[in-house]
Amino acid sequence: MTFLFYNKLIKKFYTIPCTPSLFWCIYLKTQNDVVVGDIITIGVDWAMVHDGTIVLTKVQFEKVFDKVFDPEKIIVAFDHLYPPNTENTANLLKDSRDFIKRQGIKRFFEGGQGVCHQLLLECDDIKPGDFLVGADSHSATVGAKYCLSMGVGATDMAYIFGTGTTWIKIPEAIKVKLIEKLSSECTYKDVFLKIAETLKVDGAVYKGLVFETDDLISIEDRAILCNMGTEIGAKFSIFEPCEDELQHLLSDGDDDFSYIWELDLDEVKPKVACPHDVKDFSLSLASQQPYSP
């Protein structure tokens, strides 16, 4: 299998042999072929923290470093703890604002501007092929923009803040091919619940989850699937670009996927996610009697 990537900025072609298609951006940064199980160090294009994780990141960062690797490449969003509900939380947010100002971080989204994942999707500077790391478990949401993205803890993020690099172990990849048409009574949340029903809650633990479709799916719907990949353990979730969207990203072959599943969207039924676990979602609306008080 080869993966061909045409970078319009530098006008070069890169051919990536023997590499799962979700790792083409890794190749562009390392210029090395990678296989499942490899442990590599890689540069980070974007680092994201929110108000709930910048506090611990700041503590660990200041033990070792003085300056962040690039204030233009760090994104901070106040969305989890804002507005503060205690005096202590308000003081933590003040300390975080002081840190942001000292470090000259430009991409700071104050409380009320949006949820961090939504803000990343709306950021035009984040491009297909970029590698983003977020201090939030659902950071793979940006895979909806054809970016490779993952979540880490505060200690890893502190190291990224200081060096602009991190390490990853190349995981196996699962491809989900979305075929046919989704019923108008369903949403892509229902599609994910079908995926979770089939792959199970631990079915993608430390694996890449790759979605393929021949139809143009809105970025909002792509974001649902990438965001919720975390719920079944996926390390990365990413969409493969349709040729109509990005002609310079081309893929051929499925040889490098450990599991390939054709999901017929016609078979997806509306469901309700029940408490208290991801696996508790078997309540199908289609099979339920109308509620009568």
Q: Write the pLDDT tens digit of every residue in 213-228.
A: 878 899 999 999 999 9
* Burial (CB count <10 Å: 0-12, 13-18, 19+), residue 102: exposed
186 and 109: one domain? Answer: no
> Which of residues 126, 142, 169 is at a domain's end?
169
pLDDT of residue 38: 87
Residue 124 is assigned to a structural domain of this protein: yes
pLDDT for the residue numbered 216: 83
pLDDT for the residue 10: 24
Number of domains the chain contains: 2
Reported for 227-231, long-range contacts at CB under 8 A and 24+ positions apart, including other chains, are 227/117, 227/138, 227/140, 227/141, 228/189, 228/192, 228/196, 229/140, 229/143, 229/204, 230/137, 230/138, 230/140, 230/151, 231/192, 231/196, 231/201, 231/278
Whether the predicted pLDDT of 23 surpasses 70 = no
Instruction: State mean pLDDT over 17-35.
Output: 56
Q: Could you give the CA distance from residue 26 to residue 19 in angstroms, rounded to a whole number?
A: 10
Residues 163 and 180 in one domain: no
Range of the domain at 103: 43-169
Question: What mean pLDDT, rounded, does the chain reach?
Answer: 83
On whether residue 134 sits in a domain, the answer given is yes
Mean pLDDT of 232-259: 69
Q: What is the pLDDT of residues 138-168, one digit of tens each?
A: 999 999 998 899 999 999 999 999 999 999 9
Confidence of residue 276 (pLDDT cuts 50, 70, 90): confident
Percent of residues, the chain, with pLDDT higher than 90: 60
| Residues 51-80: tens digit of each pLDDT | 999 999 999 999 999 999 999 999 999 999
pTM: 0.84
Dihedral of alpha carbons 282, 142, 31, 254, sign: positive
Residues 179-206, mean pLDDT to the nearest whole number = 92
Decide if 32 is inside a domain: no
Pair 54, 164 in one domain: yes
